[in-house]
Structure 1
Amino acid sequence: MTKLNIGMISFAHSHAFSYLEQLLQLPNVHVAGIADAEQTRVADVVKRHGIPYYDDYLALLATDIDAVIICSENAYHAQLAIAAAEHGKHILCEKPLGLSMEEMDQMIDSAHTHGVQLMTAFPCRFVPAVVEAKAAIERGDIGDIVAIKGTNRGTKPDIPWFTDKKLAGGGAVFDHTVHVTDLMNWFMPEARVTEVYALAETLFYEMDIDDAGMVHMKYDNGAVAVLDPSWSRTASFPTWGDVTMEITGTKGSLWIDCFEQKNELFSDTTMKANWYYWGDDMDHYMLKAFVAALLSGEPVPVTGLDGKRSTEVALAAYASAANQQPMKL
């Protein structure tokens, strides 16, 4: 069986640990190296799995790997992805794709110029409930979409760089807008967001970055959407957060809860309810799809352009909140 040699660049984002565990389970993947300037961050997984370690990502890119997965701080996505493309490596980049339209254009252009594929990490597209909803919409079960109400409400990340605007690019609005906006765009592939009106505030924590907001969107097909992308879930919440969507069409409606496949546990040890997800792992299916596309020479299922379109909405949301008026795209 042909195997894809994959390198991982940076474990700054905790998703990297989940991605590694899933990659190690795929029979057609060989994890050929991990690059991270902070060795202590990856020392355990490198030792446990016997994976070559590089303190310089350029040294990893100089090897014969086929692709890289980038899970760095958001501020370094563009630099790392462009370097990977210049070395002829395919790329799966953590979201949000970049911190500006210019950065994302450079990433997409570099991948095209060097003949490699750039995929944005949007695992929510691979949740069974989302996949079934997409199929129902394509069948015309609810008619034409006229409105979407979504949530992506989490707890404040405990990784320090997430609340550093220079490294993260923004707070909760930036972190959580992109996931559900990508799903909205996916459900209406021919439509484009034309206007964004948003609020971004700091309501729950004492910090210099937003932890709450509301993002309103208008599409050129007449549909409207609203999203709560906050860090409003407290430490007592049963899990890290939620991802939900209520989709209204001309012939019916759909309700999606991405994490409904769960068990509920009430324990005196934790003194709070806990949810334990038992459903299909979205990271597994996302990585499986990425690998399958590269091995078959097919287009990756979530492109750099997809990442750009959702991030564009998040950037417009901040501009709208600052100017206190709708922003045209």
Structure 2
Amino acid sequence: MPLRVGILSIAHLHVWSYVSALRSNPKSQLIGFWDSEEERAGLFAQQTGVPYIGFRDDLIDAVDAVVICSENPGHAELIEAAARAGKAVLCEKPIGVSEADFATITEAAEQVPVMTAFPCRFSPAYAELKARVESGAIGKIQAISATNRGRCPFGWFVEKEKSGGAAMIDHTVHVADLLLDLLGEEPSDVQAFVGNNMYSQDWEDTAIVSMRYPSGIAVTLDSSWSRPANYKTWGDVTMRVVGESGVLELDMFGQGIQHYGPKGHQELGIVPDLDAAMVDEFLSAVIEERTPLVTAAHG
């Protein structure tokens, strides 16, 4: 029997992808959605055909699990409401924007499964890169340079009271999660630099992060909103992993890995739907009553 799923808020643009993933997955039955803005909700219902449920708690009561796509500061309240009703949660990132949020979410995650939406974890290209690192194909990692640059999303993403921040909070998290998974350790030293020269507003559009890990690995990350509006994808996720005996280059949206090593150069191209893979993991974890691959703690 499929899992009954509801969507709490449609504020985040990723909601369109989640609707598609939920509808196409035989493990789920999309019951409906709730949103705090009636006009926005009416238009979304008309465009997608997904039923609009006017009262949040009515939707929560009618489902087994929820997907949260609200503005960032609203995540904790919605997670808490779902947990109170015993419903599993898949929540957009960043999962919270304050220490109070994290305390609320941590408590909720002790009651029900809470999964952070980190689709990059489900990239076959990333999985191959990780496997090659773990096999010793490039030797001990020395340094990593990474990017998660994107087009500026504007809207509530640049309203700090609704987003909690701009480019830094929006795009640093995906690669930070991959680094935690790949290296198995958190950085011991972090420096961040932000700027607003591209759009000259009171929010950052440029973000560069430098990290040093206990094992000595040095990492740089560019998470700026620096892609033009007509760029071929909404952004990029790249990693260049430098080892003692080789280099691995990941281009997630190009869907491939470049491996330069003693045996020459290899190029592997892979084209997945990351959101669909992430949603499937969430559904499977709830149905199988196990911990999902990514949890609230990773957020």
Deviation at 1:105, TM superposition (A): 2.8
Task: Give the distance between the partners of 1:67 and 1:211, measured in 2 at CA.
Answer: 35
1:81 has 2:115 as partner = no
The question of whether the paired residues in 2 share the 8 Å contact of 1:233 and 1:241 is answered with: yes
Match of 1:69 in 2: 67
Task: Give the distance between the partners of 1:136 and 1:101, measured in 2 at CA.
Answer: 37
The question of whether the paired residues in 2 share the 8 Å contact of 1:149 and 1:227 is answered with: yes
Match of 1:299 in 2: 291
Deviation at 1:82, TM superposition (A): 1.1
Deviation at 1:38, TM superposition (A): 1.8
Task: Give the distance between the partners of 1:289 and 1:239, measured in 2 at CA.
Answer: 24
Secondary structure of the residue that 1:235 maps to in structure 2?
A: coil
* AA of the residue aligned to 1:303: T
Deviation at 1:57, TM superposition (A): 1.7
Task: Give the distance between the partners of 1:40 and 1:22, measured in 2 at CA.
Answer: 24
Secondary structure of the residue that 1:279 maps to in structure 2?
A: coil
The question of whether the paired residues in 2 share the 8 Å contact of 1:151 and 1:242 is answered with: yes
- Aligned counterpart for 1:137 among listed residues 128, 133, 138: 133
Secondary structure of the residue that 1:204 maps to in structure 2?
A: coil
> TM-score, normalised on structure 2?
0.91
**TM-superposition CA deviations, 1:239-292 (whole Å, max 9, x none):** 322110101123322100001149xxxxxxxxxxxxxx9921111111111111
Match of 1:321 in 2: none
The question of whether the paired residues in 2 share the 8 Å contact of 1:38 and 1:55 is answered with: no
* AA of the residue aligned to 1:173: M
The question of whether the paired residues in 2 share the 8 Å contact of 1:108 and 1:118 is answered with: no
Q: How many residues align structurally? A: 287
Match of 1:202 in 2: 196
Secondary structure of the residue that 2:125 maps to in structure 1?
A: helix
User: Within 5 Å, which residues of 2 pair with 1:283-298?
Assistant: 283-298=275-290
Match of 2:252 in 1: 258
Task: Give the distance between the partners of 1:132 and 1:239, measured in 2 at CA.
Answer: 22
The question of whether the paired residues in 2 share the 8 Å contact of 1:3 and 1:28 is answered with: yes
Deviation at 1:224, TM superposition (A): 1.6
Task: Give the distance between the partners of 2:90 and 2:17, measured in 1 at CA.
Answer: 14
Q: CA RMSD in A?
A: 1.9
Structure 1's unaligned 5+ residue stretches are 263-276, 308-329
Task: Give the distance between the partners of 1:239 and 1:24, measured in 2 at CA.
Answer: 23
Task: Give the distance between the partners of 2:49 and 2:5, measured in 1 at CA.
Answer: 14
The question of whether the paired residues in 1 share the 8 Å contact of 2:109 and 2:296 is answered with: no
Identity %: 41
Task: Give the distance between the partners of 1:245 and 1:19, measured in 2 at CA.
Answer: 26
Deviation at 1:49, TM superposition (A): 5.8
Task: Give the distance between the partners of 2:31 and 2:230, measured in 1 at CA.
Answer: 40
* AA of the residue aligned to 2:55: D
The question of whether the paired residues in 2 share the 8 Å contact of 1:148 and 1:246 is answered with: yes
- Aligned counterpart for 1:212 among listed residues 206, 209, 212: 206
Secondary structure of the residue that 2:188 maps to in structure 1?
A: strand
1:6 has 2:5 as partner = yes
Deviation at 1:236, TM superposition (A): 4.0
Task: Give the distance between the partners of 1:244 and 1:140, measured in 2 at CA.
Answer: 21
Deviation at 1:50, TM superposition (A): 4.9
Structure 2's unaligned 5+ residue stretches are 257-268
The question of whether the paired residues in 1 share the 8 Å contact of 2:31 and 2:51 is answered with: yes
- 1:45 to 1:163, Cα distance in 2 relative to 1, 3 A: closer
